[in-house]
Structure 1
Amino acid sequence: MSDPLLRELDHYVVLEPGKGDIILSAAETLDWLAGHLAALAEPPADLADLADPEARAGRLLDTACELELAPGRAIQWFAVRLEPPT
């Protein structure tokens, strides 16, 4: 189960093989994940029951921090806080 405080964060650092770290907003991270999920021939088994890449991306954002695209090739995302809480 993910930490409820993570849902309050608005930004994520995303890591892709061969690319530098990128900081995205939560909405951009969902789009980024959905794009990678849509490009897969088949969704991961634990996400197959969800209707579309956007729903799958939402589940991943809440429950994981890595998606294997191919054997030995994975993307990762981590919640970050850019400003201290007020």
Structure 2
Amino acid sequence: MADLMHNEEHYVVLEPGADEVFLTVAEMLAYLKTLIQRHPQALSPDVSRQPTLERQAQVLLDRDCELELEPGRSVQWYAVRLEK
């Protein structure tokens, strides 16, 4: 039987001054919601127009891989496949 954890999509998060972090899809969405709440000014107009925080996070996850929190400081995330 296949190990389902290794079939699930994961993300690696790269943040300046921090170690890389691997997150599941649910953890990544929660992380993005926290970033949005802390840095609402960082959102592009089309993302900020989304009706809910959940939708804003989902749009970022689906469409982008970077969020500039302030000039010269960005968070990046990339989908990765974890191997056994």
TM-score, normalised by the number of residues in structure 2: 0.81
Q: Which runs of 5+ in 2 are unaligned?
A: 1-6
Size of the alignment, in residue pairs?
A: 77
Larger radius of gyration: 2
Q: Structure 1: give runs of 5+ residues left out of the alignment.
A: 1-7
**Counterpart secondary structure, 1:82:** coil
Report sequence identity in percent: 44
Equivalent-residue separation in structure 2 for 1:67 and 1:41 (angstroms): 11
CA deviation after TM superposition for structure 1 residue 48, in Å: 1.8
TM-score, length basis structure 1? 0.79
CA RMSD of aligned residues (A): 1.8
Superimposed CA distance per residue, residues 8-52 of structure 1 (whole angstroms, 9 cap, x where no aligned partner): 851000011110000000100010011001112433212121123
Report what 2:61 is aligned to: 61
